[in-house]
Amino acid sequence: MGPPGSGTRSYDVLAAAYLEALLGRDRRRALALLAQDGDADVGIAELYLEVFAPVLREVGRLWEVGEATVGQEHLVTATTQLAMARLYPRTFAAPRNGRSIVVAAVGGELHELGARMVADLFELDGWDTHFLGANVPTTAAIVDIVEREQPDVLGVSVTLPTRVPMAGELIARCRQRCPDLTILAGGQPFVQAPGLWEQIGADGTAPDAGAAVQLAGEIVGAR
Ligand code: B12
Protein backbone atom coordinates (compact mmCIF):
# COMPACT_ATOMS: atom_id res chain seq x y z
CA MET A 1 0.00 0.00 0.00
CA GLY A 2 1.32 3.40 -0.90
CA PRO A 3 1.73 6.26 1.50
CA PRO A 4 -1.21 8.65 1.82
CA GLY A 5 -0.40 12.03 0.40
CA SER A 6 3.04 13.39 1.03
CA GLY A 7 3.29 11.67 4.41
CA THR A 8 5.11 8.51 5.22
CA ARG A 9 2.29 6.46 6.78
CA SER A 10 0.70 3.66 4.81
CA TYR A 11 -3.06 3.43 4.48
CA ASP A 12 -3.30 0.39 6.75
CA VAL A 13 -1.46 2.27 9.51
CA LEU A 14 -3.82 5.19 8.98
CA ALA A 15 -6.80 2.80 9.14
CA ALA A 16 -5.57 1.34 12.45
CA ALA A 17 -5.08 4.81 13.95
CA TYR A 18 -8.48 6.02 12.68
CA LEU A 19 -10.20 2.97 14.17
CA GLU A 20 -8.36 3.34 17.47
CA ALA A 21 -9.38 7.00 17.74
CA LEU A 22 -13.02 6.15 17.03
CA LEU A 23 -13.17 3.19 19.40
CA GLY A 24 -11.88 5.71 21.95
CA ARG A 25 -14.87 7.88 20.92
CA ASP A 26 -12.52 10.67 19.81
CA ARG A 27 -13.86 11.84 16.46
CA ARG A 28 -11.87 15.05 16.59
CA ARG A 29 -8.64 13.03 16.57
CA ALA A 30 -9.98 10.64 13.95
CA LEU A 31 -10.85 13.48 11.57
CA ALA A 32 -7.53 15.21 12.25
CA LEU A 33 -5.68 12.03 11.32
CA LEU A 34 -7.34 12.01 7.91
CA ALA A 35 -6.38 15.62 7.28
CA GLN A 36 -2.85 15.27 8.58
CA ASP A 37 -1.25 14.76 5.18
CA GLY A 38 -3.18 17.65 3.68
CA ASP A 39 -6.58 16.74 2.27
CA ALA A 40 -5.58 17.77 -1.23
CA ASP A 41 -2.93 15.06 -1.47
CA VAL A 42 -4.76 12.11 -0.01
CA GLY A 43 -6.31 9.76 -2.58
CA ILE A 44 -10.09 9.62 -2.20
CA ALA A 45 -10.44 6.12 -3.66
CA GLU A 46 -7.62 4.90 -1.42
CA LEU A 47 -9.21 6.44 1.66
CA TYR A 48 -12.53 4.81 0.79
CA LEU A 49 -11.19 1.37 -0.07
CA GLU A 50 -8.19 1.07 2.21
CA VAL A 51 -9.26 3.04 5.28
CA PHE A 52 -13.03 3.49 5.57
CA ALA A 53 -14.22 0.11 4.22
CA PRO A 54 -11.80 -2.05 6.25
CA VAL A 55 -12.47 0.01 9.39
CA LEU A 56 -16.25 -0.45 8.98
CA ARG A 57 -15.82 -4.18 8.44
CA GLU A 58 -13.54 -4.45 11.45
CA VAL A 59 -15.98 -2.65 13.73
CA GLY A 60 -18.68 -5.04 12.44
CA ARG A 61 -16.46 -7.98 13.35
CA LEU A 62 -15.71 -6.51 16.78
CA TRP A 63 -19.42 -5.97 17.34
CA GLU A 64 -20.20 -9.55 16.29
CA VAL A 65 -17.71 -10.98 18.82
CA GLY A 66 -18.87 -8.65 21.57
CA GLU A 67 -15.79 -6.42 21.60
CA ALA A 68 -17.45 -3.26 20.30
CA THR A 69 -20.75 -1.76 21.38
CA VAL A 70 -23.56 -0.63 19.11
CA GLY A 71 -22.70 2.92 20.17
CA GLN A 72 -19.10 2.52 18.99
CA GLU A 73 -20.29 1.07 15.67
CA HIS A 74 -22.68 4.01 15.22
CA LEU A 75 -19.90 6.47 16.03
CA VAL A 76 -17.61 4.91 13.43
CA THR A 77 -20.40 4.98 10.85
CA ALA A 78 -21.46 8.57 11.57
CA THR A 79 -17.89 9.89 11.60
CA THR A 80 -17.06 8.08 8.37
CA GLN A 81 -20.12 9.59 6.67
CA LEU A 82 -18.88 12.99 7.82
CA ALA A 83 -15.35 12.27 6.60
CA MET A 84 -16.70 11.24 3.19
CA ALA A 85 -18.79 14.39 2.92
CA ARG A 86 -15.78 16.50 3.83
CA LEU A 87 -14.06 15.19 0.68
CA TYR A 88 -16.99 16.16 -1.57
CA PRO A 89 -15.55 19.40 -2.91
CA ARG A 90 -12.89 17.20 -4.54
CA THR A 91 -15.18 14.21 -5.27
CA PHE A 92 -17.55 16.39 -7.28
CA ALA A 93 -14.85 18.40 -9.06
CA ALA A 94 -13.88 15.74 -11.61
CA PRO A 95 -14.51 16.57 -15.29
CA ARG A 96 -17.71 14.91 -16.63
CA ASN A 97 -17.48 11.90 -18.95
CA GLY A 98 -21.06 12.04 -20.27
CA ARG A 99 -22.15 8.84 -18.53
CA SER A 100 -24.64 8.41 -15.73
CA ILE A 101 -25.56 5.95 -13.02
CA VAL A 102 -28.39 5.51 -10.51
CA VAL A 103 -27.33 3.79 -7.27
CA ALA A 104 -29.87 2.53 -4.75
CA ALA A 105 -30.65 -0.06 -2.11
CA VAL A 106 -34.11 -1.57 -1.78
CA GLY A 107 -36.58 -1.20 1.07
CA GLY A 108 -35.54 -2.69 4.40
CA GLU A 109 -31.86 -2.42 3.56
CA LEU A 110 -30.40 0.13 5.96
CA HIS A 111 -26.74 -0.36 5.00
CA GLU A 112 -25.89 2.74 3.04
CA LEU A 113 -22.14 3.26 3.05
CA GLY A 114 -21.17 0.64 0.47
CA ALA A 115 -23.72 2.04 -1.98
CA ARG A 116 -22.56 5.56 -1.26
CA MET A 117 -18.93 4.62 -1.85
CA VAL A 118 -19.94 3.16 -5.20
CA ALA A 119 -21.81 6.34 -6.18
CA ASP A 120 -18.97 8.58 -5.00
CA LEU A 121 -16.24 6.72 -6.90
CA PHE A 122 -18.35 6.90 -10.07
CA GLU A 123 -18.71 10.65 -9.46
CA LEU A 124 -14.95 10.89 -9.00
CA ASP A 125 -14.55 9.09 -12.34
CA GLY A 126 -16.68 11.77 -14.04
CA TRP A 127 -20.08 10.05 -14.14
CA ASP A 128 -23.25 11.93 -13.24
CA THR A 129 -24.53 10.04 -10.22
CA HIS A 130 -28.03 9.77 -8.83
CA PHE A 131 -27.61 8.31 -5.36
CA LEU A 132 -30.92 7.37 -3.78
CA GLY A 133 -29.38 5.95 -0.62
CA ALA A 134 -30.48 2.95 1.40
CA ASN A 135 -34.00 1.76 2.19
CA VAL A 136 -35.79 3.23 -0.83
CA PRO A 137 -39.29 2.23 0.30
CA THR A 138 -40.69 0.89 -2.96
CA THR A 139 -39.13 -0.64 -6.03
CA ALA A 140 -41.56 1.55 -8.03
CA ALA A 141 -39.76 4.63 -6.72
CA ILE A 142 -36.44 3.36 -8.06
CA VAL A 143 -37.98 2.30 -11.39
CA ASP A 144 -39.49 5.78 -11.70
CA ILE A 145 -36.09 7.50 -11.32
CA VAL A 146 -34.51 5.06 -13.77
CA GLU A 147 -37.23 5.80 -16.34
CA ARG A 148 -36.86 9.54 -15.90
CA GLU A 149 -33.05 9.67 -15.90
CA GLN A 150 -32.40 6.95 -18.49
CA PRO A 151 -28.96 6.29 -16.94
CA ASP A 152 -26.32 4.12 -18.60
CA VAL A 153 -26.12 1.97 -15.48
CA LEU A 154 -28.23 1.05 -12.44
CA GLY A 155 -26.24 -0.10 -9.42
CA VAL A 156 -28.21 -2.13 -6.87
CA SER A 157 -26.52 -2.49 -3.50
CA VAL A 158 -27.44 -5.29 -1.09
CA THR A 159 -25.91 -6.14 2.29
CA LEU A 160 -28.52 -8.33 3.97
CA PRO A 161 -29.05 -11.70 2.24
CA THR A 162 -32.78 -11.36 3.02
CA ARG A 163 -32.96 -8.35 0.65
CA VAL A 164 -31.59 -10.23 -2.37
CA PRO A 165 -35.02 -11.35 -3.67
CA MET A 166 -36.30 -7.78 -3.62
CA ALA A 167 -33.23 -6.67 -5.56
CA GLY A 168 -34.11 -9.36 -8.11
CA GLU A 169 -37.66 -8.00 -8.34
CA LEU A 170 -36.31 -4.50 -8.92
CA ILE A 171 -34.03 -5.73 -11.68
CA ALA A 172 -36.90 -7.59 -13.41
CA ARG A 173 -39.09 -4.49 -13.31
CA CYS A 174 -36.32 -2.26 -14.67
CA ARG A 175 -35.67 -4.74 -17.49
CA GLN A 176 -39.33 -4.52 -18.56
CA ARG A 177 -39.23 -0.72 -18.72
CA CYS A 178 -35.65 -0.09 -19.89
CA PRO A 179 -34.40 -3.11 -21.88
CA ASP A 180 -31.05 -1.49 -22.76
CA LEU A 181 -30.09 -0.57 -19.20
CA THR A 182 -26.88 -2.09 -17.79
CA ILE A 183 -27.54 -3.35 -14.28
CA LEU A 184 -24.85 -4.15 -11.74
CA ALA A 185 -25.64 -5.82 -8.42
CA GLY A 186 -23.14 -5.66 -5.58
CA GLY A 187 -22.56 -5.85 -1.85
CA GLN A 188 -21.53 -8.57 0.55
CA PRO A 189 -23.94 -11.37 -0.54
CA PHE A 190 -22.51 -11.14 -4.07
CA VAL A 191 -18.94 -11.33 -2.80
CA GLN A 192 -19.83 -14.39 -0.74
CA ALA A 193 -21.79 -16.18 -3.50
CA PRO A 194 -20.17 -15.75 -6.92
CA GLY A 195 -22.86 -16.20 -9.58
CA LEU A 196 -25.65 -14.78 -7.42
CA TRP A 197 -25.70 -11.64 -9.58
CA GLU A 198 -26.55 -13.75 -12.59
CA GLN A 199 -29.33 -15.59 -10.75
CA ILE A 200 -31.10 -12.32 -10.03
CA GLY A 201 -30.72 -11.08 -13.59
CA ALA A 202 -27.93 -8.51 -13.28
CA ASP A 203 -25.32 -7.93 -15.97
CA GLY A 204 -22.41 -8.16 -13.57
CA THR A 205 -20.99 -7.55 -10.13
CA ALA A 206 -17.77 -6.21 -8.62
CA PRO A 207 -16.25 -6.77 -5.19
CA ASP A 208 -15.60 -3.12 -4.45
CA ALA A 209 -16.42 0.36 -5.64
CA GLY A 210 -13.22 0.79 -7.64
CA ALA A 211 -13.78 -2.46 -9.52
CA ALA A 212 -17.41 -1.43 -10.11
CA VAL A 213 -16.29 1.76 -11.88
CA GLN A 214 -13.90 -0.23 -14.03
CA LEU A 215 -16.48 -2.88 -14.99
CA ALA A 216 -19.17 -0.33 -15.80
CA GLY A 217 -16.72 1.62 -17.95
CA GLU A 218 -15.86 -1.53 -19.87
CA ILE A 219 -19.49 -2.55 -20.42
CA VAL A 220 -20.72 0.91 -21.39
CA GLY A 221 -17.63 1.59 -23.51
CA ALA A 222 -18.20 -1.62 -25.48
CA ARG A 223 -21.81 -0.75 -26.39
C1 B12 B 1 -22.54 0.10 9.71
C2 B12 B 1 -23.32 -1.17 9.83
C3 B12 B 1 -24.68 -1.09 10.15
C4 B12 B 1 -25.42 0.25 10.26
C5 B12 B 1 -25.62 0.84 8.84
C6 B12 B 1 -25.66 2.36 8.84
C7 B12 B 1 -25.58 2.97 7.47
N8 B12 B 1 -26.05 4.21 7.41
O9 B12 B 1 -25.10 2.38 6.51
C10 B12 B 1 -26.74 -0.16 10.98
C11 B12 B 1 -26.59 0.12 12.47
C12 B12 B 1 -28.01 0.49 10.49
C13 B12 B 1 -26.74 -1.68 10.77
C14 B12 B 1 -27.84 -2.45 11.02
C15 B12 B 1 -27.86 -3.82 10.92
N16 B12 B 1 -26.84 -4.63 10.66
CO17 B12 B 1 -25.13 -3.97 10.07
N18 B12 B 1 -23.37 -3.54 9.75
C19 B12 B 1 -22.70 -2.43 9.62
C20 B12 B 1 -21.20 -2.68 9.36
C21 B12 B 1 -20.45 -2.50 10.67
C22 B12 B 1 -20.56 -1.83 8.29
C23 B12 B 1 -21.29 -1.82 6.92
C24 B12 B 1 -20.42 -1.08 5.95
O25 B12 B 1 -20.61 0.11 5.74
N26 B12 B 1 -19.40 -1.76 5.40
C27 B12 B 1 -18.37 -1.14 4.56
C28 B12 B 1 -18.82 -1.10 3.10
C29 B12 B 1 -17.92 -0.13 2.34
O30 B12 B 1 -18.64 -2.39 2.57
P31 B12 B 1 -19.71 -3.04 1.59
O32 B12 B 1 -21.06 -2.71 2.07
O33 B12 B 1 -19.34 -4.46 1.42
O34 B12 B 1 -19.53 -2.26 0.20
C35 B12 B 1 -18.46 -2.48 -0.72
C36 B12 B 1 -18.67 -3.66 -1.68
O37 B12 B 1 -19.52 -4.66 -1.18
C38 B12 B 1 -19.16 -3.04 -2.94
N39 B12 B 1 -20.56 -2.75 -3.17
C40 B12 B 1 -21.51 -2.35 -2.31
N41 B12 B 1 -22.65 -2.06 -2.95
C42 B12 B 1 -22.44 -2.29 -4.25
C43 B12 B 1 -23.27 -2.13 -5.36
C44 B12 B 1 -22.80 -2.45 -6.64
C45 B12 B 1 -23.68 -2.28 -7.81
C46 B12 B 1 -21.46 -2.94 -6.79
C47 B12 B 1 -20.96 -3.33 -8.14
C48 B12 B 1 -20.62 -3.07 -5.68
C49 B12 B 1 -21.11 -2.74 -4.42
O50 B12 B 1 -18.47 -1.79 -2.96
C51 B12 B 1 -18.46 -1.25 -1.62
C52 B12 B 1 -17.28 -0.32 -1.45
O53 B12 B 1 -16.08 -0.88 -1.92
C54 B12 B 1 -21.26 -4.17 8.85
C55 B12 B 1 -19.94 -4.93 8.99
C56 B12 B 1 -19.40 -5.33 7.62
N57 B12 B 1 -18.74 -6.46 7.54
O58 B12 B 1 -19.59 -4.63 6.63
C59 B12 B 1 -22.45 -4.72 9.63
C60 B12 B 1 -23.28 -5.91 9.06
C61 B12 B 1 -23.41 -5.75 7.56
N62 B12 B 1 -24.57 -5.75 9.71
C63 B12 B 1 -25.05 -6.87 10.05
C64 B12 B 1 -26.29 -7.02 10.72
C65 B12 B 1 -26.62 -8.42 11.20
C66 B12 B 1 -27.14 -5.93 10.94
C67 B12 B 1 -28.52 -5.95 11.60
C68 B12 B 1 -29.42 -7.14 11.21
C69 B12 B 1 -28.25 -5.90 13.11
C70 B12 B 1 -29.50 -5.98 13.99
N71 B12 B 1 -29.66 -7.10 14.62
O72 B12 B 1 -30.25 -5.05 14.04
C73 B12 B 1 -29.12 -4.59 11.17
C74 B12 B 1 -29.95 -4.70 9.88
C75 B12 B 1 -30.53 -3.39 9.47
C76 B12 B 1 -31.17 -3.44 8.09
N77 B12 B 1 -32.47 -3.71 8.05
O78 B12 B 1 -30.50 -3.23 7.09
C79 B12 B 1 -24.18 -8.05 9.64
C80 B12 B 1 -24.75 -8.73 8.38
C81 B12 B 1 -24.63 -10.25 8.48
C82 B12 B 1 -25.47 -10.89 7.42
N83 B12 B 1 -24.83 -11.48 6.46
O84 B12 B 1 -26.68 -10.86 7.49
C85 B12 B 1 -22.82 -7.37 9.48
C86 B12 B 1 -21.88 -8.06 8.47
C87 B12 B 1 -22.13 -7.30 10.89
C88 B12 B 1 -21.67 -8.65 11.37
N89 B12 B 1 -20.38 -8.88 11.39
O90 B12 B 1 -22.45 -9.49 11.74
N91 B12 B 1 -25.54 -2.13 10.39
Task: Confirm if 184 and 220 have CB atoms less than 8 A apart.
Answer: no
Q: What percent of the chain has pLDDT over 70?
A: 93
Q: Which atom of ligand 1 is nearest to the CA of 190?
A: 37
Contacts by 137-140 with C-beta closer than 8 Å and gap 24+?
137/107, 138/107, 139/106, 139/107, 139/166, 139/169, 139/170, 139/173, 140/173
Using one digit for the tens of pLDDT, what is the confidence trace for 182-193? 999 999 999 999
Range list of β-strands (E), 96-171: 100-106, 128-136, 153-157
Using one digit for the tens of pLDDT, what is the confidence trace for 115-151? 999 999 999 999 999 999 999 999 999 999 999 999 9
Is the distance from the beta carbon of residue 159 to the nearest atom of ligand 1 less than 6 Å? yes
Residue 207 has a CB neighbour count (10 Å cut-off) of 13
**What are the angstrom distances between the C-alpha of 174 and each of 55, 96, 107, 109, 145?**
34, 25, 16, 19, 10
How high is the pLDDT of residue 2?
A: 43
Residue 194 has a CB neighbour count (10 Å cut-off) of 10
Position 6 confidence tier, pLDDT thresholds 50, 70, 90: very low
Is the distance from the beta carbon of residue 117 to the nearest atom of ligand 1 less than 6 Å? yes
Is the distance from the beta carbon of residue 36 to the nearest atom of ligand 1 less than 6 Å? no
Burial of 76 (0-12, 13-18, 19+ CB in 10 A): buried
Show the domains of the chain with their CATH numbers. 11-91 (1.10.1240.10), 100-221 (3.40.50.280)
How many CA atoms within 13 Å lie on the side-chain side of 187? Answer: 28
Q: What percent of the chain has pLDDT over 90?
A: 90
Position 99 confidence tier, pLDDT thresholds 50, 70, 90: very high
DSSP conformational letter for 187: S
Q: Which pTM was predicted?
A: 0.96
**What are the angstrom distances between the C-alpha of 81 and each of 40, 112, 163?**
18, 10, 23
Using one digit for the tens of pLDDT, what is the confidence trace for 33-84? 998 655 566 799 999 999 999 999 999 999 999 999 999 999 999 999 999 9
Q: Which atom of ligand 1 is nearest to the CA of 76?
A: 1
Position 166 confidence tier, pLDDT thresholds 50, 70, 90: very high
Task: Confirm if 178 and 148 have CB atoms less than 8 A apart.
Answer: no
Residue to probe by mutation, ligand 1, list 111, 116, 121, 153, most atoms within 8 Å of CB = 111
Position 176 confidence tier, pLDDT thresholds 50, 70, 90: very high
